[in-house]
């Protein structure tokens, strides 16, 4: 089976839809990670360091937190479910990368036979079956909690739920067994060669001109005058150079799209975790009430920052989808879109600049908290981070203004250099303002601790203790 223009288009869209599913999965996995951290933190007061896990768990078993069997079982189930979710998420990323590599190979060599499976995709049924274990474990926890809450004389009705849980467990177990058996027995031999891209480059000179004219999109770009000339050795060499350049362009464009997708996946993970944290902080503010001006300002800033982050995340999804569609057009028609700016790409500099507003707002909150915590005698040092905060805001506004100025005008070298300087200034001044604020807070806490130790161990305090002991 070889790939035609329609097959390239359908395969590319299938890869794009899979990547959208991966982005959605990553969003929920990021939120799930925060929830797992909070739930395990309720069982354990400290963070699990990977080099001290065994020793740390043994120490907590001696204490009250993991002393009961229920807490031990709950912690074990929670950790196992999370690790299984991590494995499935990591495999989904590997599967997406493999699908993208296969599509790049298909775009380079459209008349190469398409393999039904690869070394990564053949594991897909097994991972999809194993992840069903989380369904059984979560249902078991729900049934167990219902058993505890339920009145004793009504627990007999829960046997219906327990029966369905047993059926679910048996079904999942059989599914895993069948998937593993099919994976072991299935004679999958049609695996792609790891050195496929270099093979395309080495063999590009050996293709006949008739095959190129019938199958390769590059051949359709040949000049009619060249077609009528005899195919000399130098002509074949020129065709080989042309194909080498074309294959290099298709490969580099596909790898660039793949890097965009991986960056979007990492961004989505952080945004999913940030969504849960933002929800919890907003809920705490609403529970305290919005009567004071401080709470109103914090609520407004938190909401604005989240909405700006959500808008930037949605734009990144649209940007990656647009790049993928452009690459599909490159693979099917061999059209160079790298020099064109479409309706989505032209807004990229503005969105990248607008997101810097969150830098200034978060720095302002940090400085305000440092001002509240800091001693009155040390507040004069807070003017240093305040000055850097002002510089950060000016750099952000300058960057946004320059981006707006370049939307409807052709790119000019001096404006590009000014934008680079303003962006670097915004990041640098933001970092300095944060570090200086934390430095002032650290000095304040250190001095307050020294003062408390001096008061506790002062000679006057010792005399009072002796006097109280005598009386």
Weakest-pLDDT range from 57-66, 94-103, 128-137, 447-456: 57-66
Pick the most confident of 310-314, 322-326, 354-358.
Answer: 310-314
pLDDT-derived band at 72 (thresholds 50, 70, 90) equals confident
pLDDT of residue 468: 56
pLDDT of residue 463: 53
Question: Of 124, 146, 137, 147, whose CA–CA distance to 168 is shortest?
Answer: 137
User: 433 near 393, Cβ under 8 Å?
Assistant: no
- Please report, to the nearest 10 degrees, the dihedral formed by the alpha carbons of residues 75, 78, 81, 86 taken in order: -100
How many CB atoms within 10 Å of residue 61? Answer: 12
- Which is more confidently placed, 205 or 398? 398
Residue 391 pLDDT greater than 60, yes or no: yes
How many CB atoms within 10 Å of residue 195? Answer: 9
Residue 470 pLDDT greater than 60, yes or no: no
Residue 309 pLDDT greater than 90, yes or no: yes
Weakest-pLDDT range from 47-61, 94-108, 304-318, 341-355: 47-61
Residue 8 pLDDT greater than 90, yes or no: no
pLDDT-derived band at 266 (thresholds 50, 70, 90) equals very high
Q: Per residue in 186-240, pLDDT tens?
A: 644 444 444 444 444 444 444 433 333 344 444 444 444 444 444 444 444 444 4
- Which is more confidently placed, 140 or 202? 140
The continuous run of DSSP H or E covering 143 comes out as helix 133-149
- Cα–Cα–Cα angle for 335, 337, 340, nearest 5°? 140
Q: Which two tokens stand for residue 455?
A: 């008061």
Residue 286 pLDDT greater than 80, yes or no: yes
- Which is more confidently placed, 232 or 348? 348
Q: What's the DSSP call for residue 376?
A: G
pLDDT of residue 211: 39
3-class secondary-structure state, position 192: coil
Would you say the C-alpha torsion 412, 414, 420, 425 has a positive or negative sign? Answer: negative
Q: How far is 154 from 97, CA to CA, in rounded Å?
A: 52
pLDDT-derived band at 116 (thresholds 50, 70, 90) equals low
pLDDT of residue 7: 76
Weakest-pLDDT range from 37-46, 124-133, 289-298, 321-330: 37-46
Question: Of 262, 336, 294, 279, whose CA–CA distance to 98 is shortest?
Answer: 262
Residue 59 pLDDT greater than 60, yes or no: no
Q: Per residue in 101-111, pLDDT tens?
A: 888 888 877 66
Tell me the average pLDDT of the chain. Answer: 75
pLDDT of residue 378: 74
pLDDT of residue 354: 86
What residue ranges do the domains of the chain occupy? 5-115+192-222+232-325, 361-464
Question: Of 470, 455, 447, 256, whose CA–CA distance to 345 is shortest?
Answer: 256
Question: Of 279, 304, 403, 312, whose CA–CA distance to 360 is shortest?
Answer: 304
pLDDT of residue 166: 92
């Amino acid at each position: 089976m070889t790939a035609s223009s329609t097959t390239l288009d359908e395969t590319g869209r299938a890869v794009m839809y899979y990547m959208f599913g991966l982005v959605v999965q990553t969003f929920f996995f990021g939120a799930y990670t925060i929830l797992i951290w909070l739930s395990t933190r309720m069982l354990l007061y400290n963070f699990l360091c990977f080099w001290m896990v065994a020793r740390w768990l043994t120490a907590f078993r001696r204490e009250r937190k993991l002393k009961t069997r229920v807490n031990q079982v709950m912690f074990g189930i929670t950790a196992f479910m999370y690790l299984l979710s991590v494995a499935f998420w990591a495999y989904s990323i590997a599967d997406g990368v493999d699908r993208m590599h296969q599509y790049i190979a298909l775009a380079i060599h459209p008349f190469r036979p398409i393999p039904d499976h690869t070394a990564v995709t053949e594991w897909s049924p097994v991972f999809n079956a194993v992840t069903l274990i989380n369904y059984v474990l979560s249902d078991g926890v729900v049934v167990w909690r219902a058993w505890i809450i339920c009145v004793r004389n009504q627990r007999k009705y829960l046997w219906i739920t327990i029966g369905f849980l047993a059926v679910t467990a048996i079904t999942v177990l059989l599914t895993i067994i069948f998937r593993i058996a099919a994976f072991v027995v299935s004679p999958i031999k049609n695996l792609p060669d790891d050195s496929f891209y270099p093979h395309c480059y080495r063999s590009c000179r050996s293709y006949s001109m008739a095959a190129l004219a019938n199958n390769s999109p590059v051949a359709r770009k040949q000049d009619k005058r060249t077609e009528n000339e005899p195919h000399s050795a130098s002509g074949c060499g020129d065709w080989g150079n042309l194909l080498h350049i074309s294959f290099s362009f298709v490969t580099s464009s596909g790898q660039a799209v793949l890097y965009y997708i991986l960056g979007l996946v990492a961004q989505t993970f952080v945004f999913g975790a940030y969504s849960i944290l933002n929800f919890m902080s907003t809920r705490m503010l609403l529970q305290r009430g919005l009567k004071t001006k401080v709470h109103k300002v914090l609520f407004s800033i938190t909401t604005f920052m989240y909405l700006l982050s959500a808008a930037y995340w949605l734009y990144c999804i649209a940007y990656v989808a647009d790049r993928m569609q452009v690459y599909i057009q490159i693979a099917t028609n061999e059209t160079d879109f790298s020099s064109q700016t479409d309706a989505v790409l032209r807004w990229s500099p503005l969105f990248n600049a607008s997101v810097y507003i969150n830098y200034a707002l978060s720095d302002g909150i940090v400085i305000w908290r440092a001002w509240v915590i800091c001693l009155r005698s040390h507040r004069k040092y807070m003017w240093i981070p305040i000055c850097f905060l002002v510089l950060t805001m000016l750099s952000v506004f300058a960057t946004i203004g320059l981006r707006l100025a370049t939307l409807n005008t052709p790119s000019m070298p001096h404006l590009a250099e000014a934008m680079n300087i303003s962006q670097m200034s915004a990041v640098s001044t933001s970092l300095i303002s944060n570090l200086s604020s934390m430095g002032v807070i650290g000095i304040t806490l250190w001095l307050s601790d020294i003062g408390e130790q001096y008061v506790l161990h002062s000679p006057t305090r010792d005399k009072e203790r002796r006097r109280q002991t005598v009386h």
